[in-house]
Structure 1
Amino acid sequence: MIIYASTKQSFIKDFEQGVLVKKLHQTLTEKYRRVGESEIHSWQTSLSYMANVMRDFAIPDLAGVAIEYIVPNTQKRVDFIITGLDQQDKEHVVIVELKQWSEAFKVTDKDNIVSTYLGGGIRETTHPSYQAWSYCSLIENFNEDVQNRPIELHPCAFLHNFDESISPELRDPIYNSILDISPMFTLGQMDSLRSFIKSYIPKPDTTNIMESIEHGKLRPSKSLQDSILKMLKGNKEFVLIDDQKVEFEQIKKAALDAIKNNQKTVYIVRGGPGTGKSVVAINLLAECIHNGYMAQYITSNAAPRNVYSAMLQQGYKKSEIKALFQSSGTFHTRKKNELQIAIVDEAHRLRKKSGMFQSQGEDQIKEIINASIFSVFFIDRNQRVTFNDAGTIDKIRNFAQDQNSLIYEGVLESQFRCNGSDGYLAWLDNVLQIAETANYDGFEGDYDFKIFDNPHEMYDAIKAKNEINNKSRVLAGYCWDWPKEGRTTSLVKDIQIPEHNFGISWNLGNSDTYAIDPDSINEAGCIHTTQGLEFEYVGVIIGDDLRYENGKLIVDITKRAKTDQSIKGIKKLLEENPDEAHRIADEIVKNTYRTLMTRGQKGCYIYCTNKELSNYFKLAYNHQLSYTYTEPQVVLSEQPLAADKTDSNIDKLNLKLDK
């Protein structure tokens, strides 16, 4: 999406007439989100400099200009784009990252990281030239037209307030490699920036290059499971963007310092779905391997380990793969500091004890910290999905302190799943009543979210998406029994929805590789075979463990399948501590659906077995619902909830939908 697109001539005219910022504000607010005063001020300042840059007769009047281009599948915005042709009529795009910085400081031991005044304090961030280059890389990765025509992209950074005579740090030789491919222009270097633009664009954009950037055919999104082999062999499959790059470099430095000084160190990284936790984790594993460090990727959930292992079979021996990917349940037998670097993904899934019967060891967090010199835990507090999930930030801190560890903490916020829609995640947290969020009344329309009244129609839509590249799946809540006896056919329909004559089997013998097996489209996956992995589209069947009743969301554990081990122990806790049992049950069911509904990079389709819940989602999606955040309503026994006959919210819901 481009917020503003025109020609050089029209851009300068809009600026001089004082309507440019107004147009940006209006379009961004209508199509995307609210705009703060600081952003408006930055437009007024930076675009005045760009207007002066573009006032050069050698830059064609009909060169293309775009402002605030939102890169597909992300929420990253390119500040300023110029398009046109060279003397041989080849197509070129100049991407300009605009900064109002007046000072910055080099960070000598972190690749392409600098520090400057941001958000009320001195913070580390990516070098502006790296940021411009990374956005170019994103566009090249996602846009087939850019690759096939081909259109050449040229990044640069313009720090119009930055006086290098006072603060020369950003030109330090440690940044030479990025400055060579993405030059930086500062205060007093406007002519140099003009020359850079003119060297690529001496002729107007007569081939509508901007149209190809805005509406060009998008490549299928990269998935981590497809790219892991190339990553471990040294290819840069995923360009780390903004906070991903900052966290990666900070983690790497902390790890190397820990090993050098033999100082036990723990690093905690918080991040929601799609923020790049696993991408950073696998990049860190690859970096460690190439530099000769003993590192292991660790999860409690077997699904991501098994999928990554399967994708590596062409390039590594089984013994090598096994050495890289480990279960968290193996660390109770490890010696102190026998591993240099432990990379713990999905740390919220760590358990207290290990073994088939949860009877071995003391605590997996404690054991991982004990066995490694450096350990990094990637965690999302809203992805606890079983009663035995015991990974919390407080526990990590406490065990780290007990072992005299240095403790660092970081956060990943940039959204790269759900089409980069932070609004979708905020809306989902609110509609599931996991958390009250500011964006409670809807989200931007780039994410493909649909509610189906018929499971056949949803399934057909997902199958159509899957035919493109085998990256779409049907998932379901654990409300139907999973047969204990192994089977070899998907003709047995475990998940039955009789009123629609619909049935589908759970995934059969391919639980380890469900995410990549072509036949998986004929089966439904559950939370245990998909958490930690991603698809392009998911179709989620929401079962009777979540319903809408008497104007309230109801979590009903009694509707979970009898074969579901994720709630084993909840009834005992109900006798000992009813309030805690209700809290955990509410958390498990809602987090399960939140996790399933955020597996899709491009879209999520849902079918609800409870009609009132479907109506509730429709009203919320269409901005017709006034939210009232209520205390969790949880059913843990077979006793039905007493109906509130004075509450007519369900009738109101149905009436609104009928209208």
Structure 2
Amino acid sequence: MQVYHGTVAEAGDALRSGRDAFVGRCADDFRRRRGELPGDAELRSWRNSWPVLVDALVRAGLGDLALLLEYELPRSSERIDALVVGARPDGGLTGVVVELKQWDQVTAADSAEAETRGERRGHPCLQAAGYVSHLEQWLADEVLRLEFRGAAVLHNADDRSTALLSDAVRGRVGSGDVAVLGRRELAEPDPHALAELLRCGDLAPPAGSRLAEFLELRPQPSAKLLGELDTVLRQQSRFRLIGAQQEAQRLVWKAATDVTAKRKRVIAVSGGPGTGKTVIAMRLVVDLSRRQSEPKTEARFLTPSGTLLAQLKRAVKHVPGANGMFGHPKSHPPVTAVVPVVDEAQRLAREDWQLERLMTCAPVSVFMLDERQVILPDEGYRVAELREHARRVGAEFHHVELTSQFRCGGSLAYLNWLDRLLSPDKTPERWTESDYDFDIARDPDDLDAWIRHKNAHGFTARIAAGYCWTWTEVDATQPLVDDVVIDWTDRNGERRTWRRPWNAHVEHKDRAGAVTAPGRKFWATDPGGQDQVGCVYTCQGLEYDHGGVLMGPDLVRRGDEWVAQPKESRDDRVNGLTAEQYLPLALNIYWVLASRAMFGCRLYSTDPETQAFLMELRR
């Protein structure tokens, strides 16, 4: 996608005849393609920066080169400010990535950031180099022989500012190769010298047919990208397959690569927490994409969980172009050669068109799910439903069930006990001694002390709760609000109050720049998260060493059965549900919360009758 595609000269004519009209047409095209209008700040940057860049390109004698404005990177929602495309003397095509900045002064810079007007921003050379690397990893063609370069254009900046930026990345691979142009460079009177500064000195107008081939080129991950991802998977222990996971991987691989299959195939992989679904999904994405087969296929990791997606992208952030291997199911285009591997599939919205599109867009589609983790009324498909949808679209169906699990200390005893506890019809049992550290906390202070002790000894320990307290959203400049408030009577008969904020929506820092509260997608893993309370949406799909669970009044024990109280939930997505409709969801929510911890868990209920019931189950 791009909001403008034409020659540099045509863009120059349009801007001279009416800058606002040209920007308006581009904004309309942006809205048609993305379903939203660009923001006011973005529109201002278009009005201020495009005319300066286009004027410089025209004065450099580059009017016949192709210009793409707001060019969307393949397999990414990121956009390049401008991409100038021309033909090299050897016949190959070159794209020059242009990062535009309106900064008028830079007061400090290092290889990652620059300070402008007292604000720390990403170094423009690092941004441009990242875009160049992404294009190199996703666009390759033996005929077009593509090459990419980078330039950072700061049309308001003085020589001191551009020198600071250049010096900060000098000699660094990638960012050190990006040209930096300020006011003086853009005013260069010699056309050839200006073209050289813009990294376009050797480029000629591209043939229309070759430019069309470039625009229609299907993105594919390069061998280098897949090799680097493979290295990450092999080096990081959380991505390694062991024991029964390897056998499950073999079965999934066999079903996914069955060359004798006459129809499309749908593979459902089900398993509880810690059975390796995410690890297998990651391995499949890399291995299927590396597989040499005809027709050539690749795979993409999809998940409806924004928290899991952010965590995985960060795990491979040093691999250029890796973001293109991940996405949300709704953003996945129906590309016939791309195998969708959907993790956390139990969180898919119950939209049959979306599910059937995933099943029919490629020869194979893979769904990793845990039926016990369906937590909303409008989400989640069971294995039987996947089977029925596969039959409906005429696809073969395979089901692989994972049993060996590696979370909760590998303790099936704990998960079996938890399953009986959080069941609408099974009889809970007393907790017996196990290799898993489980107990019922006496009160919130007891729970909090246990969590802080674990964190102090180098473990990752978190407290999560049912969504039973109002959540006050604040920005990064405001202090977090202690929304989670629990009153109780201690053993001496005194009334006590425990208070904590929910996890932050955005990252919070102190005046020295140290993170005091990570953003919600990283609450479960990053330092500072132990000081806030998480919820099911910020921990589902993740794990930590030790976990405390606050059971709110939305799920209480009355006699020998669980009773759901949906009116006690502050989650708008369960509004209007009856107690009977909410009960299985509430049981699943606390199942998720109580199965995140690797080595130990503590439960505490704010409801006195439920707390007394839990205390009776202690060993």
TM > 0.5 fold call: yes
The one of 436, 445, 448 equivalent to 1:459 is 448
Partner of 1:250: 251
* Pair 230,514 (structure 1): closer, same or farther in 2 beyond 3 Å: farther
Partner of 2:367: 377
Residue 532 of structure 1 deviates from its aligned partner by 0.6
Q: How big is each residue's C-alpha offset from its partner over 1:375-395, in whole Å with a ceiling of 9 and x where there is no partner?
A: 111121111111111322222
Amino acid at match of 2:388: N
Instruction: Work out the CA distance in 1 between the residues paired with 2:463 and 2:229.
Output: 26
Partner of 1:368: 358
Instruction: Work out the CA distance in 1 between the residues paired with 2:601 and 2:568.
Output: 23
Amino acid at match of 1:559: E
The one of 592, 611, 615 equivalent to 1:618 is 615
Partner of 1:473: 462
Amino acid at match of 1:367: R
Instruction: Work out the CA distance in 1 between the residues paired with 2:460 and 2:356.
Output: 37
1:545 is the counterpart of 2:554: yes
* Pair 611,280 (structure 1): closer, same or farther in 2 beyond 3 Å: same
SS of 1:533's equivalent in the other structure is: coil
For 1:559-598, list aligned pairs within 5 A: 559-561=568-570, 564-568=571-575, 570-571=576-577, 581-598=578-595
Partner of 2:349: 351
The one of 561, 564, 567 equivalent to 1:558 is 567
Q: Is 1:490–1:522's contact at 8 Å kept on the other side of the alignment?
A: no
- Tell me which moved more, 512-521 or 480-489: 480-489
Amino acid at match of 1:370: T
The one of 487, 491, 498 equivalent to 1:502 is 498
SS of 2:267's equivalent in the other structure is: strand
Instruction: Work out the CA distance in 1 between the residues paired with 2:285 and 2:361.
Output: 17
Amino acid at match of 1:539: G
Instruction: Work out the CA distance in 1 between the residues paired with 2:370 and 2:528.
Output: 31
If asked which structure has higher relative contact order (CA below 8 Å, sep 6+), I would say: 1
Residue 591 of structure 1 deviates from its aligned partner by 0.4
* Pair 488,275 (structure 1): closer, same or farther in 2 beyond 3 Å: farther
Amino acid at match of 2:530: I
Instruction: Work out the CA distance in 1 between the residues paired with 2:405 and 2:373.
Output: 16
Residue 488 of structure 1 deviates from its aligned partner by 4.4
Instruction: Work out the CA distance in 2 between the residues paired with 1:445 and 1:614.
Output: 22
Instruction: Work out the CA distance in 1 between the residues paired with 2:363 and 2:439.
Output: 47
The one of 385, 392, 410 equivalent to 1:420 is 410
* Pair 342,443 (structure 1): closer, same or farther in 2 beyond 3 Å: farther
Q: Is 1:348–1:390's contact at 8 Å kept on the other side of the alignment?
A: yes
Residue 506 of structure 1 deviates from its aligned partner by 0.9
Instruction: Work out the CA distance in 1 between the residues paired with 2:283 and 2:425.
Output: 31
Runs of 4+ in 1 over 6 A off after TM superposition: none
Q: Is 2:563–2:579's contact at 8 Å kept on the other side of the alignment?
A: no
Q: Is 1:423–1:444's contact at 8 Å kept on the other side of the alignment?
A: no
Structure 2 gaps, min length 5: 1-227, 489-495, 507-518
SS of 2:319's equivalent in the other structure is: coil
Residue 316 of structure 1 deviates from its aligned partner by 2.8
Amino acid at match of 1:279: V
Instruction: Work out the CA distance in 2 between the residues paired with 1:330 and 1:250.
Output: 28
Q: Is 1:310–1:513's contact at 8 Å kept on the other side of the alignment?
A: no
Amino acid at match of 1:445: S
1:300 is the counterpart of 2:307: no
Partner of 1:57: none
* Pair 328,546 (structure 1): closer, same or farther in 2 beyond 3 Å: same
1:608 is the counterpart of 2:605: yes
The one of 411, 414, 431 equivalent to 1:442 is 431
Instruction: Work out the CA distance in 2 between the residues paired with 1:229 and 1:613.
Output: 47
1:391 is the counterpart of 2:381: yes
Query: How many aligned positions are there?
Result: 367
Residue 583 of structure 1 deviates from its aligned partner by 3.9
CA RMSD, Structure 1 to Structure 2 (Å): 2.5
Q: Is 1:431–1:620's contact at 8 Å kept on the other side of the alignment?
A: no
Instruction: Work out the CA distance in 2 between the residues paired with 1:414 and 1:386.
Output: 27
For 1:473-492, list aligned pairs within 5 A: 473-486=462-475, 488=477, 491-492=480-481
Amino acid at match of 2:609: E
Q: Is 1:429–1:435's contact at 8 Å kept on the other side of the alignment?
A: no
Instruction: Work out the CA distance in 2 between the residues paired with 1:535 and 1:525.
Output: 12
Residue 453 of structure 1 deviates from its aligned partner by 2.1
Instruction: Work out the CA distance in 1 between the residues paired with 2:414 and 2:600.
Output: 10
Q: Is 2:565–2:579's contact at 8 Å kept on the other side of the alignment?
A: no
1:316 is the counterpart of 2:325: no
TM-score of the superposed pair, with normalisation by structure 2: 0.56
Residue 239 of structure 1 deviates from its aligned partner by 4.8
Instruction: Work out the CA distance in 2 between the residues paired with 1:545 and 1:490.
Output: 28
Q: Is 1:421–1:444's contact at 8 Å kept on the other side of the alignment?
A: no
Q: How big is each residue's C-alpha offset from its partner over 1:524-566, in whole Å with a ceiling of 9 and x where there is no partner?
A: 11101110111111111111111223443221111101xx133
Partner of 1:340: 338
SS of 2:525's equivalent in the other structure is: coil
Q: Which structure is larger by alpha-carbon Rg, 1 or 2? A: 2
Instruction: Work out the CA distance in 1 between the residues paired with 2:363 and 2:432.
Output: 43
Q: How big is each residue's C-alpha offset from its partner over 1:265-316, in whole Å with a ceiling of 9 and x where there is no partner?
A: 1111121112222222222223234447511111112111111112221223
Residue 443 of structure 1 deviates from its aligned partner by 4.4
Q: Is 1:423–1:442's contact at 8 Å kept on the other side of the alignment?
A: no
